[in-house]
A and B are shown apart, each in its own frame.
Chain A
Amino acid sequence: MKITNQIIENHGLNASEFENIKKLLKRDPNLLELGIFSAMWNEHCSYKSSRLHLKKLYTKGKQVIQGPGENAGVIDIGDNDAIVFKIESHNHPSYIEPYQGAATGVGGILRDVFTMGARPIALLNSIHFGSPSHPKTKSLLNGVVSGIGGYGNCIGIPTVAGETKFDETYNENNLVNAMAVGLAKKDKIFYSKAKGINKSVVYVGSKTGRDGIHGASMASAEFDENTEDKKPTVQVGDPFTEKLLMEACLELMKDNSIISIQDMGAAGLTSSSVEMASKGSLGMELDLDKVPCREKNMTPYEMMLSESQERMLLILEDDKEKDAKKIFDKWDLDFMVIGKTTDTNNLTLKFNGKIEGEIPIEALATKAPIYDRKWIRKKISKNKINLKDLKKINMEEALVKILSSPNHSNKSWITNQYDQSVMCDTAQKSGSDAAIIRIHGKDKAIAVSVDSSANYCKSHPLTGGKQIVCENWRNLITAGAKPLAITNCLNFGNPENENIMGEFAECLEGIKEACEFLNYPVVSGNVSFYNGTNQKNINPTPVIGGVGLINKLSKPISHNFKKDKNVIILVGKTFGHLEQSCFLRENYKIFDGIPPDINLLNEKNNGENVLKLIQNKLILSSHDISDGGLILALCEMSISSSYGAIIKKPQKLTNLFKYFFGEDQGRYLLEVEPSNLTKVEKSLKDSNIYYENIGFTQKDYFEIEGELKINIKDLFKINNEWYNNY
């Protein structure tokens, strides 16, 4: 077939990329080869727009066993135990078919984790939808939540934490980011680097069909009126087969048969074979006649680009094939030797005895384009919001507006659809700052949380980037865990737009700065560009997933108040920063302004000390302060318990709204028994930490002296209404 300009364009390649391909091949590519280049050179696989900037990230630390570059990141949690984790996006498929898009997103991230030898022990997700009043939002929400639950529950891994946000920026571009966390032995981590010549390349798992052909190209294209025609490319997930695949792989991994292993994700057989060969500086020859196919008469093009799910590619040690096949037969999965490693450094594809395609591996991997896209720094608005101009409102009204809003309403409507308890190691479930998973059979545990702040990132990308790392860090601290490392999913609009590229670059700068200061490195992640429709791009939405360690697990303290007559301490100084706050957005629809500054020194100091206090069992409940400020955090601690609080009016800040709704960072709330108060105060004073005793816990009511008194049963009702009525 002659390669026309239209065909090149349909493959998502531009003219100069095509010229580059011709140079690398020293001839024109055929259609099969063009398809392979288009899959490996699109944004999703090659990271061509982001690679230069991603190099800036802070990725080192004593706790890091494997940083970015592998299927997932790996950290050391002591005692020969390691945690393997990563977050990934599945945005575009979830817009087209929300259930399957979300389900296959979960499936894909699970494979990235167990391919490294880790049994997955937790799933998390960060999902973002358009305005609730947008006609598509309800069905997208229902579909995505059902899909996440349908896949995670069936495979038997608890979905323990997450965040769900609504904003009209996602109206035509909802986001689904799925994170998986697994447990492995430090001396038994499996990598994807191929080693040795003439080794068998083995295909295991589901048969190959025509699913998702060119899905990776779809993820790199904006939606437009023609999006409807792209529909048939969505894949269907099969969590039952994935469960079998996971068990079979983990069983095979018990001995030393595997040289390298990689899951077939975006761009299926193409990306897995190329990445394995490239990492090992080897070539690979595949005999496509041997690929197990689900449909009749599949062509080499279809086989190489199919994104059928639940498949892995392995390279086995000599003489280990027979025993390995026995394991896959036990689990009723296909096991087929489909090729071998070579020293040619080419990807050679044979079919019906002929060579159908031959491409130098490096042309597809290391020689993929890298773009240094133009970007400009965000012009930070200097306009100050004059609070005096705002319509008068009373505190209770303002609070209720926030508590009953879709973004802050209780999400048990969602989390009750996820099995959080399977595997019997979930010590703290969703609804708290972080979930806590015990390490099976041991005394220790990990805390996990996922966070984003698109509004902050939009208004001030540099600060926004810093802030999400800090907020994620704080969420692990309040769970009593030492934060160890993060994974990040960077969801942005069109990188060819210099403003969007600027948001990307600056958010990354902020993330890097915070990670470095807090010794909280990035070990894995994913970039999703082109989240936009018809020139309208989403707000920059970097999502941070963090993991921390609890050395000795005791009954988690969680954030609900435990008893009355306890002291409530506010750690950290309140300046009353209202700009870019939930208060202004929900009550006045004001979206201008810049987010609060981040003082990394205070973040570190405050956090380390709060952690010490929790570890020394001096704290009964703790919560970090973020969206909605002090008052929302206090309400959250009351709603989930039988105890409210009575809070004094502040002595210094006279504007109550600034004090209670301001979103200053680096702050925590601690519930302390009177008998421990002296010890706690001494510890804070000794570390030069600013704190205030703001009041006491009390039965039944949440009260701000002289200003507000609400029964916590009413707060509960207000907070639980929205989802039930949606």
Chain B
Amino acid sequence: MKSSVIVFPGSNCDRDIGVALEKMQFKNQMIWHKETKLPKSDLIVLPGGFSYGDYLRSGAIAGKSLIIDEVVKAANDGCLILGICNGFQILTETGLLKGTLLRNKNLKFINKDIQIKVINNKTKFSNKYKKNQVLKINIAHNEGNYFTDSKHLQDLKENNLIAFKYCDRKGSVNDQSNPNGSLENIAGIYNSNKNILGMMPHPERMVDELISNTDGINLFSSLLN
């Protein structure tokens, strides 16, 4: 399977996702944001980091780069798009995903291992996970507080477009297990076609037992399935 990782000035987790993709046997290319054409890809990744320093608004400036037009075209053609952390922020700024990522409720950057629950396990990104499976995964962000209007929230629920929710070790979704104040503990969502996934936690940080754990592996295996 072919993947392309878009690298913006200030992207930091590009090497990390590149390593994870290659470990999972993807044929991966790193694409500099000034390129005007994307190679034929099955999966396009917008990685984590601080594109453009998070200046103005996180993901705002990257969302206006030329390469994004190509990403939008590919998305409309049904290509799989994965936005991780800053990548999720960029997807909301472009409108490919609805809603926005606000400042964390406690106004501080949070780096922690937390738990998320797999809400929809029937997508290209999640079919190797069990329904309601609890994953231990790393978050590292200042603006991870997902918010959207009530109409879109209803749409997300009715069409099973919520990908992951923050929960505790037992899988309970509640205030205590919500690290950043996200609406209804939402940690990741799909678009209506379910070919675009935006998520705040970092699956690429969870593919190595020596460093952390391997709870992230099945996201990539699902894609290869």
A residues at B contact (CB < 8 Å): 146, 149-150, 153-156, 238-241, 243-244, 330-332, 415-427, 438, 553-555
B16 and A423 within 8 A (CB): yes
> Knowing A240-B10, A424-B205 touch, does A418 contact B211 (C-beta < 8 A)?
no
Closest B residue to A150 using CB positions: B109
Q: Which of A156, A238, A331, A438 contacts B12 (CB 8 A)?
A: A156
CA distance A419 to B141 in the complex (A): 8
User: Does A422 contact B108, Cβ atoms closer than 8 Å?
Assistant: no
Contact between chains at A243 and B140 (CB < 8 Å): no
Q: Quick one: which of B32, B50, B140 contacts A240, CB cutoff 8 A?
A: B50
In the complex, chain B residues whose CB is within 8 Å of the CB of A331: 9
Do A416 and B9 touch (CB < 8 A)? no
Tell me whether B50 and A154 are in contact (CB under 8 A): yes
Question: Considering only CB atoms, which chain B residue lies closest to A424 in the complex?
Answer: B16
Q: Which of the segments B52-60, B128-136, B190-198 contacts the partner chain?
A: B52-60
On whether A423 and B15 interact (CB within 8 A), knowing A240-B50, A553-B210, the answer reads: yes
Q: Smallest Cβ distance from A641 to chain B, in angstroms? A: 16
Instruction: Kindly provide the distance from the CB of A431 to the nearest chain B CB, expressed in whole angstroms.
Output: 12
Q: Which residue of A149, A154, A553 contacts B10 across the interface (Cβ within 8 Å)?
A: A154
Q: Which 3 A-B pairs have the closest CB atoms?
A: A156-B12, A240-B53, A419-B140
Q: Is the CB of B111 within 8 A of A419?
A: yes
Q: How far is the CA of A153 from the CA of B143 in the complex (A)?
A: 13
Q: Is B13's CB within 8 Å of the partner chain A?
A: yes
Q: List 7 A-B contacts (CB under 8 A).
A: A150-B109, A153-B142, A154-B53, A156-B49, A240-B53, A438-B210, A438-B211
18 new A-B pairs (CB below 8 Å) besides A154-B53, A438-B211?
Answer: A149-B109, A156-B13, A156-B49, A238-B53, A239-B53, A243-B12, A244-B9, A331-B9, A415-B111, A416-B108, A416-B110, A416-B111, A419-B111, A421-B111, A423-B15, A424-B205, A426-B211, A555-B210
User: Complex: how many Å from CA A235 to CA B140?
Assistant: 27
Contacts A419-B109, A419-B140; A156 near B202 (Cβ below 8 A): no
In the complex, what distance in Å separates the CA atom of A150 from the CA atom of B162? 30
Q: Is the CB of A555 within 8 A of B209?
A: yes
Contacts of A240 in B (CB 8 A): 9-10, 50, 52-53, 55
Task: Evaluate contact between A424 and B208: CB separation under 8 angstroms.
Answer: yes
Q: How many residues in B have their beta carbons less than 8 Å from beta carbons of A?
A: 33
CA distance A416 to B179 in the complex (A): 11
Give Cα distance in the complex from A427 to B212, angstroms: 7
**What number of A-B contacts does a CB cutoff of 8 Å give?**
87
Shortest C-beta distance, A104 to chain B (Å), equals 15
Given A153-B109, A419-B109, check contact A243 B10 (CB 8 Å).
yes
**Which residues of chain B are within 8 angstroms of A416 by Cβ–Cβ distance?**
108, 110-112
A614 to B50, CA, bound (A): 39
Asked if B93 lies at the interface with its beta carbon under 8 angstroms from chain A, I say no
CA distance A420 to B52 in the complex (A): 21
Which residues of B have CB within 8 Å of A156?
A: 12-13, 49-50
CA distance A577 to B50 in the complex (A): 50
Within 8 A of A (CB), among B174-225: 202, 204-205, 208-212
Q: Which residues of A contact B9 (CB under 8 A)?
A: 240, 243-244, 331-332
A617 to chain B, nearest CB (A): 15
Residue of A154, A243, A420, A423 touching B111 (CB-CB under 8 A): A420
| CB of B19 closer than 8 Å to a CB of A | yes
Contacts of B32 in A (CB 8 A): 330
Kindly list chain B residues whose C-beta atoms are within 8 Å of the C-beta of A330: 32, 34
Q: Of residues B13, B110, B210, which shows the largest number of chain A Cβ atoms within 10 Å of its Cβ?
A: B210
Q: B19 is contacted by which of A417, A424, A555 (Cβ under 8 Å)?
A: A424
Q: Which chain A residues lie closer than 8 Å to B111 at the CB level? A: 153, 415-421
Q: Which residues of the partner chain A approach B112 to less than 8 Å between Cβ atoms?
A: 416
Known contacts A154-B53, A240-B55: does B12 contact A427 (CB below 8 Å)? no
CA distance A427 to B12 in the complex (A): 18
Distance in angstroms between the alpha carbons of A241 and B140 in the assembled complex: 21
| Contact residues in A for B19 (Cβ distance below 8 Å) | 424
- State whether A427 touches B211 (Cβ < 8 A): yes
- Taking the nearest CB of chain B, how far is it from the CB of A447, in angstroms? 15
Within 8 A of A (CB), among B5-21: 9-10, 12-13, 15-16, 19-20
Closest residue to A413 on the B side, CB-wise?
B108
Interface pair B212/A421, CB less than 8 Å apart: yes
Chain B residues contacting A426 (CB-CB under 8 Å) are: 211
Say yes or no: is B89 at the interface (Cβ < 8 Å to chain A): no
Q: Which residues of A contact B49 (CB under 8 A)?
A: 156
Question: How distant is the Cα of A240 from the Cα of B10 in the complex, in angstroms?
Answer: 6
In the docked arrangement, what's the CA distance between A181 and B225, Å?
Answer: 40
Does B138 make an interface contact (CB < 8 A)?
yes
For residue A438, which residues in chain B have a CB less than 8 angstroms away from its CB?
A: 210-211
Residues of chain A contacted by B10 (CB below 8 angstroms) = 154, 240, 243-244
Instruction: List the A side residues contacting B205 at CB < 8 Å.
Output: 421, 424
Whole-angstrom distance between the Cβ of B179 and the nearest chain A Cβ: 9
| A423, chain B: closest CB distance, angstroms | 7
Chain B residues with CB below 8 A from A554, complex form: 210
Write out, one digit per residue, whether chain B residues 16-35 have a CB within 8 A of any chain A CB (1) or not (0): 10011000000000001010
B56–chain A nearest beta-carbon distance, Å: 11
A contact residues around B50 at 8 Å (CB): 153-156, 239-240, 243
Q: Measured between C-beta atoms, what is the minimum distance from B114 to chain A in Å?
A: 11
Q: Among A146, A154, A415, A423, point to the contact of B54 (Cβ < 8 A).
A: A154
Beta-carbon contact of B204 and A155 below 8 Å: no
B13 touches A422 (CB 8 A): yes
Give the residues in chain A near B204, CB-CB below 8 Å. 424
- The minimal Cβ–Cβ distance linking B143 to chain A, given in whole angstroms, is 12
B178 to chain A, nearest CB (A): 15
User: Which residues in B have their C-beta under 8 angstroms from that of A422?
Assistant: 12-13, 16, 48, 140
A123 to chain B, nearest CB (A): 13
**Chain B residues near A553 (CB, 8 Å)?**
210
A241 to B10, CA, bound (A): 8
Kindly provide the distance from the CB of A56 to the nearest chain B CB, expressed in whole angstroms. Answer: 41
Given contacts A155-B12, A416-B112, contact A421 B138 (CB under 8 A): yes
| Whole-angstrom CA separation of A467 from B15 in the bound complex | 40
How near does chain A come to B84, taking the closest CB pair, in angstroms? 12
Report the separation of the CA atoms of residues A555 and B49 in the bound assembly, to the nearest whole angstrom.
27
In whole angstroms, how far apart are the Cα atoms of A417 and B142 in the complex?
A: 9
> Which B residues are CB-close (under 8 A) to A417?
108-111
CB distance from A481 to the nearest CB of B (A): 15
Inter-chain contacts of B12 with A (CB < 8 A):
155-156, 243, 422-423
